[in-house]
Structure 1
Amino acid sequence: MHVVMLPWSAFGHMIPFFHLSIALAKAGIRVSFISTTSNLRRLPLHFIPPDLAAPLNLVELHLPAVDGLPADAEATVDVAFDQIQYLKIAYDRLKPQIKQFISQDIPDWIIQDFASHWTAEISRELKVHVPLILFSVFSATIFSFLGPPEYLTGEAQAKHWSSPESLISPPEWIDFPSTVAFRSFEAGPIHAGFFGKNASGTTDTERLMLTATASQAVAIRSFKEYEGQYLELLQKVYRKPVIPVGVLPPTPAPPLAEKSFQEEWSTVFKWLDQQSPKSVVFVGFGSECKLSRDQVYEIAHGLDISGLPFLWALRKPMWAVDEDDALPPEFRTRNKGQGVVCLGWAPQMEILAHPSVGGSLFHSGWGSIIETLQFGHTLVVLPIVIDQGLNARLLVEKGLAVEVERGEDGSFDRKGITRALRKAMVDEEGEGVRVRAREMRTFFGDHGLHQAYMDGFIQYLKKKEQKEETR
């Protein structure tokens, strides 16, 4: 069996597609993972075990040049937020190369992301039937919230999602008690981002509608023990199979061999070794959240005032002249001993696995939720973009997180950061959250449970092969 993987050009999408590819190859399915030159080079290839049962082929395409897109930009991490629309143009222009590859090696399945809305056209143009599966790297919550695919465009969209205000309360098809909705300050940017036109000529919701409609099933990085109601609702509103594949918790990777990496991080881990168990807050907002100077500085001052030990993995912001400019003046000097700031990439899984880490201040992206709750850490959530607000509401509703207080305009300050951190990590008021987070480790960290979900998905894929053999 041969499966083609088509992720969108964002590492929050490519990495789950990559881990899914490894899982399929382990099960004896030949996988072609398609992306561009630079993106393939940046994948964590050390996660690929040497004993795969079938090949995992990385198929390299060349991203077309597009006006408005920097020449060396191939993923969302490489561009400012307003340049992502030009990356979508370039991504759409990959279609001829993908068509050429598929024509030479017809797959049994194409597992696609939301962005590749033209995949079904390739099958029609080649006059071959290749069944499609939409793989969601998001939780079931956001797709369930958005409702049936036909509500995402045209007159139905104008009726159900007419304005930002339509996003601030649960929609009518959520038929169980729920607090999951966007805040007023989130609703404007989210509505514009989802439903608004961009330079590619295709809105994100049009892409989702087309990929979901063309797909035979939806595979989703989730599991019933966490959001069973939303998985059931999604199958109801999509009217096709919704298959949870588990959360794809990666098995521990072999340590990176680069000497520079070992030297840089040995100092950090020695510092962690000196801290009390479960006392350190890990702070990380990933590569997709572009924080402003004021936001970074308020987080910094909040960490300072909290008095808690912290390890902050901070990607140098585009607005910073240099690394020193990325933090308030004398912040590192003042907090020497209390905390460590690492600018650039960080081995997040290894950090979270360290026994001195007890909590995480982060954006509540679904991938980071999965990684953090694997270890039962307490969550302090500060959602910034896309689905993160809905993820945060569900976590708080389940008693698993403390959300940082925000003003009506979405602003937050150092006092709010400090209050949320201390409540989550040390105050008696937050003990229930700490207990619930520890309990979740049983589910999020259960590799056997998630392998069982993956086995179910693999059986679904192989049913096509079994039917053809029967014929």
Structure 2
Amino acid sequence: MAKDLHVVLVPYAAFGHLLPFFHLSVALAKAGIRVSFISTPINIQRLPKLPSELSAFINLVAFPLPVVDGSSLPEGAEATLDVSSEKEKDLMAAYDLLCHPFKQFIANESPNWIGVDIFPHWAIDIADDFHVPVFLFSAFSAATMAFAGPPEFLTEHGLKKVRPSPESLTSPPEWITFPSSVAVRRGPEAIGCYFFYNMVLGKRLPKILKNCKAVALRSFKEIEGDYLEVLTKIFQKPVFPLGLFLPDQLAAEQRDYGEEWVKTFNWLDQQKPKSVVFVTFGSTCKLSKDQVDEIAYGLELSNLPFLWSLIKPEKASELTEDFDILPPSFKKNTAGRGLVCMGWSPQLEILANPAIGGTLFHAGWGSVIENLRYGHRLIVLPLVFDQIYNARLLVDKGMAVQVEQNEDGSFSRDGIAECLRQAMVSEEGNRIGLKVAEAVAAVVDQEHYVGEFVQYLKNDVATQN
């Protein structure tokens, strides 16, 4: 019976991973499956509120983040949003030590399945010790996973054989046999992605892919069908797309975000439908001061209404006021036309507001899905790793316009303004809007996606019994 199933989920300590795993918990619980969600105390406190009718099915398990000798993690830092990019290595080292309480938990609970992220390779040995099957749940798009390739090509030896240099990442690999521009540019972009494959994924993902029984990911055949077929072929195991995968109650949930956000939503409610550009680059990728300036000037030049959720740029911790971070003339020149909100923002609630018509963002896959759900026009400005592949995918599919960037990833205010106007007030923007609307309409019936996956989990357990 489904109610007898117990699935343990192990996400990485980044909110681009934690939130998809939380949504998966909700989807499994709605199917009557008991879920244990493993993370750390502060990260669990930051998660959305559990739907009351599902709370009996979901156990949020908080393991204290272990202390690593010689680590310089700030106090209370438990996720990538809490640390600079230089200190993420220390966070990952602490995260890996969760293997010890995790092993004891599995010994005590004897779950039917373990669902892992792409990073906790240590969960494979623990699962093997206790004869528990594993599935990989990827927070990345099918295009990103397909570009990474078969597990044997991600090992150090395999990487040298098929991708001997950063330049080898600048064109689609041989196993992608259909027209695709999903690849990286030369220069720092290629070097950064090559380092990620070599030093991060290559030491973790191949072991998980080789030993898991199935792969699930937030994707849909209507947009990524060709890449999903590639994954089935190169992984040689079942691959399950789970649809747009955002529970309705999370978007509709009303929460008290404070007086400033009440004012912000009141301002949005006064704007024309589909007229406002939402600007957000998430909490993990911190913009530089120069990047903030170019985006600000681009918004100013565009003459479009906007709402900008701005995280304080790197190396600007001493700046405390908006006017310290933004160009001096920006506030005066955009008064009445746009708002800048510093720090965290309730993104789903913003995207659900009728005034929002388009989003300028980094093309992180979670944000792509949230925007697709509400049919917004997409203006993409990728900064790191999978965002680069997602941006190319969306442009290939006619669903986004991408800001022009140089080989070093830099961009100009004129490029920002041009793309904003192209997406929001041009014929091409109308075509993008139609493409996005068609894609969303095609994925209206999402229950069959999760249903197929749940049935697979049940059938496997029944076979083992």
Q: Does the Cα contact within 8 Å between 1:167 and 1:182 map onto a contact in 2?
A: yes
Distance 2:326 2:428 in 1: 31
More moved, 393-402 vs 261-270: 261-270
Distance 2:20 2:429 in 1: 32
Alignment partner, residue 236 of structure 1: 233
More moved, 278-287 vs 49-58: 49-58
Alignment partner, residue 398 of structure 2: 399
> How much does 1:300 deviate?
0.5
> How much does 1:468 deviate?
4.2
Q: Does the Cα contact within 8 Å between 2:96 and 2:120 map onto a contact in 1?
A: yes
Root-mean-square deviation over aligned CA pairs = 1.5
2:326 equivalent to 1:327? yes
The code of the aligned residue for 2:84 comes to A
Alignment partner, residue 453 of structure 2: 457
Alignment partner, residue 205 of structure 2: 208
> How much does 1:130 deviate?
0.2
Q: Does the Cα contact within 8 Å between 1:169 and 1:182 map onto a contact in 2?
A: yes
Q: Does the Cα contact within 8 Å between 1:225 and 1:443 map onto a contact in 2?
A: yes
> How much does 1:429 deviate?
4.0
Deviations 1:238-263 (A, max 9, x none): 111111122212214354443xx242
Deviations 1:259-290 (A, max 9, x none): xx242222112211221221110111111111
The code of the aligned residue for 1:217 comes to A
- Number of residue pairs matched by the alignment: 454
Q: Does the Cα contact within 8 Å between 1:218 and 1:243 map onto a contact in 2?
A: yes
Q: Normalised by the size of structure 2, how large is the TM-score?
A: 0.94
Match of 2:192 among 189, 192, 201: 189
Q: Does the Cα contact within 8 Å between 1:25 and 1:31 map onto a contact in 2?
A: yes
Match of 1:245 among 242, 245, 262: 242
The code of the aligned residue for 2:396 comes to E
Alignment partner, residue 280 of structure 1: 276
Q: Report the secondary structure of 2:244's partner residue.
A: coil
2:441 equivalent to 1:437? no
Distance 1:217 1:337 in 2: 51
Distance 1:262 1:79 in 2: 25
Distance 1:360 1:53 in 2: 33
> How much does 1:119 deviate?
1.1
Q: 1:12-91 to 2 correspondence within 5 Å?
A: 12-45=16-49, 48-52=50-54, 54-66=56-68, 67-91=71-95
Match of 1:152 among 151, 154, 170: 154
Alignment partner, residue 176 of structure 2: 174
The code of the aligned residue for 2:287 comes to L
> How much does 1:52 deviate?
2.2
Q: Does the Cα contact within 8 Å between 1:26 and 1:54 map onto a contact in 2?
A: no
Distance 1:435 1:2 in 2: 42
Alignment partner, residue 199 of structure 1: none
Q: Does the Cα contact within 8 Å between 1:392 and 1:403 map onto a contact in 2?
A: yes
2:357 equivalent to 1:353? no
Alignment partner, residue 142 of structure 2: 140
Distance 1:118 1:53 in 2: 28
Distance 1:432 1:467 in 2: 49
> How much does 1:121 deviate?
1.4
Q: 1:257 to 1:367 in 2, by over 3 A?
A: closer
Q: 1:161 to 1:305 in 2, by over 3 A?
A: same
Q: 1:429 to 1:450 in 2, by over 3 A?
A: closer
Q: Report the secondary structure of 1:184's partner residue.
A: coil
Deviations 1:405-432 (A, max 9, x none): 1123221010000011011111234332
> How much does 1:227 deviate?
0.4
> How much does 1:441 deviate?
2.8
Q: Does the Cα contact within 8 Å between 2:268 and 2:353 map onto a contact in 1?
A: yes
Deviations 1:166-223 (A, max 9, x none): 1000011111111111111411111112213xxxxxx322211111111011111111
More moved, 48-57 vs 272-281: 48-57
2:227 equivalent to 1:223? no
The code of the aligned residue for 1:340 comes to L
Q: Structure 1: give runs of 5+ residues left out of the alignment.
A: 197-202
Q: Does the Cα contact within 8 Å between 1:139 and 1:220 map onto a contact in 2?
A: yes
The code of the aligned residue for 1:194 comes to Y
Q: Percent identity?
A: 53
Q: Report the secondary structure of 2:348's partner residue.
A: helix
The code of the aligned residue for 1:170 comes to P
Q: Normalised by the size of structure 1, how large is the TM-score?
A: 0.93
Distance 1:68 1:263 in 2: 35
Q: Does the Cα contact within 8 Å between 1:400 and 1:437 map onto a contact in 2?
A: yes
The code of the aligned residue for 1:57 comes to N
> How much does 1:319 deviate?
2.4
Q: Report the secondary structure of 2:204's partner residue.
A: helix
Deviations 1:142-184 (A, max 9, x none): 1111111010113221011211101000011111111111111
Distance 1:49 1:65 in 2: 33
